[in-house]
Structures are given as C-alpha cells and as structure tokens.
Amino acid sequence: MSFQYKNVYLLWLSVVVIVLDQVTKQLIVRHLDWYDVVPVVPHLNLVHMKNTGAAFSMLSNAPPAFFVLLGTAVSIGILWWLRRNPRGQTLLATALSLVMGGAMGNVIDRVTRGHVVDFIDFYVGGWHFAAFNVADIAISIGTALLILDMLLDWRHERNAGKAGTS
C-alpha cells in the first residue's frame, strides 16, 4: 500500500501564489507610474497596467464585486472539492490549488484597489500579448494541469475499456 497524502496539503501552493502575486504587484505599484514600460529582456517588459475586467479585459464594465464574488465562489468550490476528495488526486489537487491561489490574488486586488494590477508585457515585434501577473500565470498553469488531468483520465478509462474487451 502506497502512502497518499491529503489533497488539502497542496493548499500551500495557493498561499505561495497569493504571496508572490501580492509582493510583485506591490513592487510594481511602488516603483512604476501608470503605463511606465521597463524593458527586461527582448520580448519582455515590465509595465504598470490597470485591469478592471477579466482575462484580456473582458467584462471590463462589470463591477469589482462581480469578480470578487466569482473568485470567492471558485475558491469555496475548490476547498469543498479538496475536503470531499481527501487523498490521492495529486495532479488535480495541484491544479485546483494553483487556480485558487490565482483567483484569490486577483480578488485581493479588486477588494483593495478596485482593479487588478497587471505588469508582465510579452511582445513580438509590434504585437503585445495582454499584460498579466503572477495570479494569471498560476491560473493558466492550473488550467493546463486540469486539462492534462482530464486527458490522462480519459486515456486511462479508454485503456481500461480495451483491456476489459479482450
């Protein structure tokens, strides 16, 4: 029998994401004026942007309370899942913990500032990807891991079905 630790133990990832997100945003707020651009390496700048919407500024006219409630609801759902599924789903628990940390990092911004601070500007030539932050990175990685977990489950079920028909 192999030891399987509790999924809830992966909540430390959420805490790390929140702390890194808030520290980096505070550094940007303290050291850069609005819309300042600081080149870091080719194709990467630090900027100081205000995002009142969701990803890519979608729903930018929605009140901050909408995003606070959404991020809080997502986090409550993740905590519920971690408690209900206590052991052994490490990849899924990791993904959900990253998503929750990112969601809460951005919720903190909306509660304290009324908007989210974005500061990473990736570009190629004259094309710039939407500015983002550490919370957005965690949400993106968490989402990619969720997709990977679903694909691995699908593959496992498909292979189990084939083995059962032989």
153 a catalytic residue? no
Max alpha carbon distance in the chain (Å)? 66
Reading the block at residue 42, the tokens are 């080719």
| Triad 145, 106, 54: Cα angle to 5° | 80
What interhelical angle do 11-31 and 90-113 show, nearest 10?
30
Residue 85 per-residue DSSP state: S
149 a catalytic residue? no
On whether the CB atoms of residues 64 and 110 are closer than 8 A, the answer is yes
Of 21, 121, 136, 149, the catalytic one is: 136
Of 21, 118, 121, 149, the catalytic one is: 118
Starting at the edge strand found earlier in the chain, the sheet holding 44-51 runs 37-41, 44-51, 116-124, 127-128
Catalytic residues: 118, 136
